[in-house]
Amino acid sequence: MSIFGSMKTAVSGMSAQANRLSTVSDNIANANTVGYKAVSTSFSSLVLPSSSGNYNSGGVQTSVRQAISEQGDISYTTSDYDLAISGDGFFIVQSADGTPVLTRAGDFSVDSDGNLVNSAGFTLMGYSYDSGVPAVVVNGFDGLVPVNVTQSGLSAVASTSAYFSGNLNSEATVVTDTTTLPSANTSDVTDDTQKMSLVAYDSLGATVQYDYYFTKTGVTTDSSGAVTGSTWEVAVYRNADATTGGTTSFPYSSDAVSVATLSFDADGQLTSATNTDIVDPTTAQTITMDYSDFTQLASDFSATGSADGQAASAVSAVSIGTDGVVSVSYANGTTKSLYQIPLATVASPDNLTLLSGNVYSANGQSGVTVTGFPQTNGLGSIQSGALESSNVDLAGELTEMIEAQRSYTANSKVFQTGSDIMDVLVNLKR
């Protein structure tokens, strides 16, 4: 064994303990960093060839391990934009240069542009509802846009579809005089006609009321006289065009905006519905009507329905659900989905590459990123108004620091002893 060898071994020991102390200092410094994951130092020995009578001391090398997959405690806050992940997964965020990376730090706030940005300056990414319900891109970040929660002023959405469901009385009298049908737009409508109204919205958010008239117009029978089917007329008018005087709404000042025919079989089930769309020349909009849930049974007339769209209304609140859907609530009680926040994961999270800002990027050891929506395919859920704390154990870190100090001192003593022996050898020549 050489004295130089023992001194070099002591130097490698001091260097290893210095690395250990560096990870401890990082952990202690970030004990209160949101979403921070503790790092630790692992040691492995370096062995040199030796003979039975001559031992060559080797040394020690270190590697850094990350506890990224270890969940931190969740604490609740007063901000709805603070987000924590309960379970597996990472937020997908974008750096200032447009690079997508992963993080568990969900301390988001609204910047000057209305985007959600965390304390490290990374922008939260999500899928927009502008083109309908979004679909996730499982093996990439295509289609992601910054989540923007600025919703100022008033918002209005024109109606494009509506539905009516209910029952038409099979025992109603068939109206054979076409001049008394609602579609004729006369003042003589029989008592067998049933009326309901529905409110829709134009492009400016103004309400448009439509009057619906249901009238039985025919019955079909077989050779034995058994009823095989029935037909009904559904005439729709703009309520604003109704007669203002007298006891009836007829005649309207404009023609019907829709005249549909509903056909039922002998069991009272709807078999077909034709010309159902409302084409309103006043608002220049077409509303697709759905009558598919109507039946014709021996029971009183009943109906219920609704139309999509939204009246002009101000935003009252923005909320984020456990499934990552970002929604706005309006003063009139309606809601609208804006974005859905996805989560990403990798096969080996602890091998992700750590970058400044408490973010991570995938590499060959971690595996490629797989993207999905919260609460699907093993991914966790998003908790709004909460933050994931650092998973650093301060008591453990202080213990590690004391051990590193003791080990460093011991290695320095070995080096000092080797130096003293070298002095003895040098003095032998004197």
At residue 119, φ and ψ (nearest 5 deg) are: -65, -20
Q: Which residues contact 29 (CB under 8 A, 6 or more apart)?
A: none
* CATH class belonging to 159-308: mainly beta
Q: Is residue 1 predicted with pLDDT exceeding 60? A: no
Q: Closest Cα to residue 263, out of 252, 255, 275? A: 275
Instruction: Look at residues 16, 26, 84 and name the one whose alpha carbon lies nearest to residue 392.
Output: 26
Is the pLDDT assigned to residue 247 strictly greater than 70?
no
Tell me, what's the pLDDT at 430?
Answer: 65
Span of 112-116, 186-190, 283-287, 408-412 with lowest mean pLDDT: 186-190
Q: Give me the residues paired with residue 238 across strands.
A: 210
Q: What is the pLDDT of residues 353-396, one digit of tens each?
A: 999 999 999 999 999 999 999 999 999 999 999 999 999 999 99
> Residue 153 has what pLDDT?
64
Find the mean pLDDT for residues 319-328: 93
More confident residue, 104 or 58: 104
Please say if the pLDDT value at position 183 is more than 80: yes
Q: Is 80 exceeded by the pLDDT of residue 221?
A: yes
Judge whether residue 50 has pLDDT over 80.
no
Q: What does pLDDT average to over the chain?
A: 90
44 vs 50: which has the higher pLDDT: 44
The mean pLDDT value for 30-59 works out to 84
**Three-state DSSP class for 144?**
coil
13-37 pLDDT, tens digit per residue, is: 999 999 999 999 999 999 999 999 9
Maximal CA-CA distance, the chain: 137
Quick one: tokens of 45? 């020995």
| pLDDT for residue 246 is more than 70 | no
Q: Which residue has the tokens 């009516």?
A: 164
Rounded Cα gap, residues 37 and 391, in angstroms: 6
Task: Inform me whether the pLDDT recorded for 228 exceeds 70.
Answer: yes
Q: What is the pLDDT of residue 56?
A: 75
- Which residues is 190 bridged to in the sheet? none
pLDDT at 152 over 70: no
Mean pLDDT of 35-41: 93
Give the closest residue to 236 by CA, choosing from 217, 219, 218, 215: 215
Sign (positive or negative) of CA dihedral 195, 201, 203, 204: positive
Domain ranges of the chain: 3-70+391-428, 74-154+314-388, 159-308
pLDDT band at 418 (very low <50, low <70, confident <90, very high): confident
Look at residues 19, 6, 17 and name the one whose alpha carbon lies nearest to residue 59: 6
Compute the average pLDDT of residues 222-239.
91
177 within 8 A of 217, measured Cβ to Cβ:
no
pLDDT(306) > 70? yes
Q: What tens digit of pLDDT does each residue of 251-269 get?
A: 899 999 999 999 999 999 9
Q: Kindly list the distances between the CA atom of residue 398 and the CA atoms of 20, 25, 31, 276, 401, in Å, as whole numbers in the listed order.
A: 12, 9, 12, 75, 5
